[in-house]
Structure 1
Amino acid sequence: MNYLKSTYFFDFEKEVIQNLISDLKSEAISNQHKTIAIYTRVRDQWRYDPYQISLLKDKYQSSHIAQKQSGNCIEKSILLISCLRALNIPARLHLGKVKNHIAVERLTEKFGSNELTPHGMVNVFLNDKWLKMSPAFNTTLCTRLNVEPLEFDGETDSFLQKYNSHGTLFMEYTDDYGHFEDVPLEFMKENIKEHYPHIFNTSEETTEFNL
């Protein structure tokens, strides 16, 4: 497995990605601090939006995502992975299924469930171990939901906001699909179709949804 290589999706050689990490290329900055910095940047500079879903291949290129103002959990994870690989830090995509318990009215209305799948996060290799982190929820959103934003210290996993600030259950993982060297678009398509069949037009395959 090569968790450093550029791919169609992790196209970090593109100028827009290189510009994102240009201030972090110095050898004087440790990989740990580079990871923390770019994690925080992706978490907060792209607003989390789970209601735009695409099945189009080019929509999952990191260079395309970088030019947007928002992204869902998988898109933001792809962007972060691409930036990490551009900094020569091994990273890979990790997918699972999560259940939300707070502010789920719109989720339930649009998806027919308070479960989101596939949910994306990032595995990064630092100090000889793989760590999990999730850049999905930006700080502004967390403040609105009374949830502490996920901070990443470069030493421990940071991927689950189980409770809000009042101790109420916020989110839980209900399934783990494992990690992937590249973006498994066909798996993602089938997973979405299986869990949210009502989103699709039965007469022809729709490729993009704004829910």
Structure 2
Amino acid sequence: MDYLSSTYYFDFETEEIQQLVSEFKSDLISDKEKTKLLYLKVRDSWRYDPYHLSFSKENYKASTIAGKPKGHCVEKSIILIACLRALGIPARLHLGKVKNHIGVERLTEKFGTNELTPHGMVNVYLNHKWLKLSPAFNKTMCEIYNVSPSEFDGENNSYLQEFNNDGKIFMEYLEDYGHFEDVPLEFMITNVKEHYPHIFNKDNKSEFKL
């Protein structure tokens, strides 16, 4: 499997992605430090927004996402993967299903459930092992919901914020769909249709703002 190449979705040779990684192109910075810095950059530079679903291929290109002010978990994972590959660090997309337990009123209203799928995160290969990390929830959003922002130390997994600061359950993983070399758009579309059939209507729109 190839986890370093540029693809239609992980189009890191584009100006948009090259600008994002330009400050990290130094042999004086280790891959571990580059990954930690990029993780924070992606986590906090794009506001988390799960309410805009798109089934357009163009909208899942890293260069397209880079021009937006916000993105959902899969989109933010795509940006981070493209940036890591641009620096020669192997990275791949990992998908699953999660359940949120705090601040779910709007989620339940729009999706009919507090379960989110497919939920995206990143696998990065550092020091001869694959690590899981999720840049989805930006620091400001975490402060609103009294949850400590997820940190990545470059040595341990960082993808599950199980509890908030008061010890109440915040998030849990329900299913693991595994990892992918590229963005599996058809799988994602099928997955969304199976879990949220009510958001589809007769005109079969390719984008939904919920």
| TM-score of the two chains, using structure 2 as the length reference | 1.00
Q: Secondary structure at the match of 1:158?
A: coil
Q: Which residue of 1 aligns with 2:183?
A: 183
TM-superposition CA deviations, 1:158-177 (whole Å, max 9, x none): 00000000000000000000
Q: Secondary structure at the match of 1:74?
A: helix
Q: Which residue of 1 aligns with 2:94?
A: 94
Alpha-carbon distance between aligned partners in 2 of 1:115 and 1:14, rounded to the nearest angstrom: 34
Q: Secondary structure at the match of 1:187?
A: helix
Q: What RMSD over aligned residues (CA atoms) do the two structures have, in Å? A: 0.4
**Structure 2, unaligned stretches of length 5 or more?**
none
Q: Which one-letter code corresponds to 1:16 in the other structure?
A: E
Deviation of 1:206 after TM superposition, in Å, equals: 1.1
Q: Which residue of 1 aligns with 2:205?
A: 206
Asked if 1:149 is matched to 2:152, the reply is no
Q: Which residue of 2 aligns with 1:193?
A: 193
Q: Secondary structure at the match of 2:44?
A: helix
Alignment of structure 1 residues 84-123 onto 2, 5 Å: 84-123=84-123
Q: Secondary structure at the match of 1:106?
A: helix
TM-superposition CA deviations, 1:31-75 (whole Å, max 9, x none): 000000000000000000000000000000000000000000000
**Ranges of 4+ aligned residues in structure 1 off by more than 3 Å:** none
Identity of matched residues, %: 67
Alpha-carbon distance between aligned partners in 2 of 1:151 and 1:163, rounded to the nearest angstrom: 14
Report how many residues are paired. 210
Deviation of 1:205 after TM superposition, in Å, equals: 1.4
Q: Secondary structure at the match of 1:41?
A: helix
Alpha-carbon distance between aligned partners in 2 of 1:160 and 1:46, rounded to the nearest angstrom: 19
Asked if 1:134 is matched to 2:155, the reply is no
Q: Which residue of 1 aligns with 2:124?
A: 124
**Structure 1, unaligned stretches of length 5 or more?**
none
Alpha-carbon distance between aligned partners in 2 of 1:206 and 1:174, rounded to the nearest angstrom: 28
Deviation of 1:204 after TM superposition, in Å, equals: 2.8
Alpha-carbon distance between aligned partners in 1 of 2:88 and 2:49, rounded to the nearest angstrom: 28
Alpha-carbon distance between aligned partners in 2 of 1:6 and 1:86, rounded to the nearest angstrom: 8
Alpha-carbon distance between aligned partners in 1 of 2:203 and 2:181, rounded to the nearest angstrom: 31
Alpha-carbon distance between aligned partners in 2 of 1:77 and 1:18, rounded to the nearest angstrom: 17
TM-superposition CA deviations, 1:160-206 (whole Å, max 9, x none): 000000000000000000000000000000000000000001x2311
Alpha-carbon distance between aligned partners in 1 of 2:170 and 2:20, rounded to the nearest angstrom: 31
Asked if 1:16 is matched to 2:16, the reply is yes
Q: Which one-letter code corresponds to 1:185 in the other structure?
A: L
Alpha-carbon distance between aligned partners in 2 of 1:177 and 1:16, rounded to the nearest angstrom: 29
Alpha-carbon distance between aligned partners in 2 of 1:198 and 1:67, rounded to the nearest angstrom: 30
Q: Which residue of 1 aligns with 2:27?
A: 27
Q: Which residue of 2 aligns with 1:44?
A: 44
Alpha-carbon distance between aligned partners in 2 of 1:55 and 1:210, rounded to the nearest angstrom: 12
Q: Secondary structure at the match of 2:186?
A: helix
